[in-house]
C-alpha cells in the first residue's frame, strides 16, 4: 500500500530487465568488437548508421502499430510504391519531370493515403489488422509493378540522391533524417494524448473504448502516420539506390517487426517506447553486420535472426492476450 513497496517490487525486477535490449546491444557490440577488430572502425560504424536508415523509420512506425496491439504487413508495398512514385517525379531517365524535393511531400502523401486506407478498412470491415495490411501490401506492390511495368526507373537528380547517399562527416544524411523521425515519435509517444491512447488501446481496447477514447479514429491515425513514414522511407530508399524499384523495399516488413521485437516491444501491445525501437533497429543491424564481418553464410544468418526473434517474442509476449491474435 505504500510508495516504498512499489519501489521494492520494481527493484526486484531490476534495471537490467527494464533495459534488457540496451544491455543486449552493448554486450553484442563488445562481443563483435572482440571477435573482429574491423567492427569498431570509423568506416564500419558509419556503415552501420547507413544500414540503420531508413529501416529505423519504418521500425519506429511499426513500433506504434505494435504498441496499439495491431500489426502492419504493408510496409514493403507502401514503401515500394512511394519510392516508385518519387522516382517518376524527380529528374529521371523515363519522363521529363523535375520536381526535386517536393517529390518527398508526394511520397509522404502516397504513404499517408495507404495508411489511412489500412485504418479505415480495419474498422469498416472489422477484420484483423494483419489481413487488411497484407491485402493493402499486395495491392500497393501490384500498383507499383503496374506503374513501372516491372522495370526500374533510374533517377538522375543528384541533389535528391543526397538524402540517401550524402554524408556530413562520417554521419549519413539518411541517419540524420531517421534521428529526426525518432525525436518526433519519442515526443508523440511520451508527451501527447495520441501517444497515451496508442498504449491504452494496446493495453485493452474494450476498456479504452469504454472510457470514451475514440478507438477507430486513433487507429486510423496510427496507421496513417505509419503509412506516411513508410512513404518517407521509400523515397529515401529510391535516393539511396538511384532508381525506383519495387524490389528496393524487399524484406522491410520483416526487418521492421524484428527491430521492434528485438527492442522489447511486445507484439501483444500496450508496452514500449521509441527508444526501444531504435535500440532494436541497431541490434538487428549490427547482428547482420557482425555476421557478415565474421564471414557467416547469408543463409545461416537468416536462420540465426529467425531463431533470436522467436526467443525474444517468447520473452516479451503477454500470454493472457494471445487468444486475440490466434
Partner 1 sequence: MENQPLLVMKKICKSFPGVRALDDVSIEVMPQEIVGLVGENGAGKSTLMKVLAGIYQPDSGEIIFNGQKVSIRDPQQARNLGIAMVFQEQAVLPNLMVYENIFLGNEKKFASMGVINREKMIREAENLLREIGITISPLAYLHELTFMERQMVEILRNIWVARQAEISNPLIVLDEPTTVLEEREVELLFSKLRELKKQISVIYISHRLNEVVELCDRVYVMKDGKNAACFKKGEFDEDLLRSKMVGREFHGEYYLISEQVEPTPKVVLELKNCTRKGAFEDVSFQLREGEIVSICGVVGSGKEELCLALYGLMPLDAGKIYLHGKEVRISSPAEAFALGIGYIPEDRRNDGLVLNLPVFENVTLPILYRLRKGLFLDRESQLNVSKNMIEKLRIKTPSPFALCRNLSGGNQQKVVLSKWLLSKVKILIMSHPTRGVDVGAKHEIYALIREFTRQGMAMILIGDSFEEDIGLANRIITMKDGKITAILDATTCKPNPSDLIGYVV
Binding residues vs partner 1 (CB under 8 A): 1-3, 6-7, 9-10, 191-194, 196, 199-200, 202-204, 207-208, 210-213, 270-271
Least Å distance, CB 220 to partner 1, is 15
**DSSP conformational letter for 155:** B
CB burial string 285-300: b at 16+ within 10 A, e below: bbbbbbbebeeeeeee
DSSP code string of 214-264: -HHHHHHHHHHHHHHHHHHHHHHHHHHHTEE-GGGGTTHHHHHHHHHHHHT
Least Å distance, CB 188 to partner 1, is 9
52 versus 199: smaller Cβ distance to partner 1: 199
Q: Are strands 243-244 and 167-168 parallel, antiparallel or unpaired?
A: unpaired
Least Å distance, CB 228 to partner 1, is 17
Least Å distance, CB 282 to partner 1, is 25
1 versus 314: smaller Cβ distance to partner 1: 1
165 versus 213: smaller Cβ distance to partner 1: 213
CB 118 within 8 A of CB 74: yes
Least Å distance, CB 204 to partner 1, is 6
7 versus 304: smaller Cβ distance to partner 1: 7
CB burial string 163-194: b at 16+ within 10 A, e below: bbbeeeeeebbbbbbbbebbeebbebbeeeee
126 versus 149: smaller Cβ distance to partner 1: 126
Q: Which of 52, 40, 42 is nearest to 293 (CA)?
A: 40
Least Å distance, CB 64 to partner 1, is 15
35 versus 211: smaller Cβ distance to partner 1: 211
* Residue 69 backbone class (left: φ over 0; alpha: ψ -120 to 50; beta: rest): left
DSSP code string of 82-104: HHHHHHHHSSBSSS----TTHHH
Give the whole-angstrom CA distance, residue 270 versus residue 291: 32
The x, y and z cell numbers of residue 289, run together, are: 553486420
1 versus 42: smaller Cβ distance to partner 1: 1
Least Å distance, CB 181 to partner 1, is 18
Amino acid at each position: 500500500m505504500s510508495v516504498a513497496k512499489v519501489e521494492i517490487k520494481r527493484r526486484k525486477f531490476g534495471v537490467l530487465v527494464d533495459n534488457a535490449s540496451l544491455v543486449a546491444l552493448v554486450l553484442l557490440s563488445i562481443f563483435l568488437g572482440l571477435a573482429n577488430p574491423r567492427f569498431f572502425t570509423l568506416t564500419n560504424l558509419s556503415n552501420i548508421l547507413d544500414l540503420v536508415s531508413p529501416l529505423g523509420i519504418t521500425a519506429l512506425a511499426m513500433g506504434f502499430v505494435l504498441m496499439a496491439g495491431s500489426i502492419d504487413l504493408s510496409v514493403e508495398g507502401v514503401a515500394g510504391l512511394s519510392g516508385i512514385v518519387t522516382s517518376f517525379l524527380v529528374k529521371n531517365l523515363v519522363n521529363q519531370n523535375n520536381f526535386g524535393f517536393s517529390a518527398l511531400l508526394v511520397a509522404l502523401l502516397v504513404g499517408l493515403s495507404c495508411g489511412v486506407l489500412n485504418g479505415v478498412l480495419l474498422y469498416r470491415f472489422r477484420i484483423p489488422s494483419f489481413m487488411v495490411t497484407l491485402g493493402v501490401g499486395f495491392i500497393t506492390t501490384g500498383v507499383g509493378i503496374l506503374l513501372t511495368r516491372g522495370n526500374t526507373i533510374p533517377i538522375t537528380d543528384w541533389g535528391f540522391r543526397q538524402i540517401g547517399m550524402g554524408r556530413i562527416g562520417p554521419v549519413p544524411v539518411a541517419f540524420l533524417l531517421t534521428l529526426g523521425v525518432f525525436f518526433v515519435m519519442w515526443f508523440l509517444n511520451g508527451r501527447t494524448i495520441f501517444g497515451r491512447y496508442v498504449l491504452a488501446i494496446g493495453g485493452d481496447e474494450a476498456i479504452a473504448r469504454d472510457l470514451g477514447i475514440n478507438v477507430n479514429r486513433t487507429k486510423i491515425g496510427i496507421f496513417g502516420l505509419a503509412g506516411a513514414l513508410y512513404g518517407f522511407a521509400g523515397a529515401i530508399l529510391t535516393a539511396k539506390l538511384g532508381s525506383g524499384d519495387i524490389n528496393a523495399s524487399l524484406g522491410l516488413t520483416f526487418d521492421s517487426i524484428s527491430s521492434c521485437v528485438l527492442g522489447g516491444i511486445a507484439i501483444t501491445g500496450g508496452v514500449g517506447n521509441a527508444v526501444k525501437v531504435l535500440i532494436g533497429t541497431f541490434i538487428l543491424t549490427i547482428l547482420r553486420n557482425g555476421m557478415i564481418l565474421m564471414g557467416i553464410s547469408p543463409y545461416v544468418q537468416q536462420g540465426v535472426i529467425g531463431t533470436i526473434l522467436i526467443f525474444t517474442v517468447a520473452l516479451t509476449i503477454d500470454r493472457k492476450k494471445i487468444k486475440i491474435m490466434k
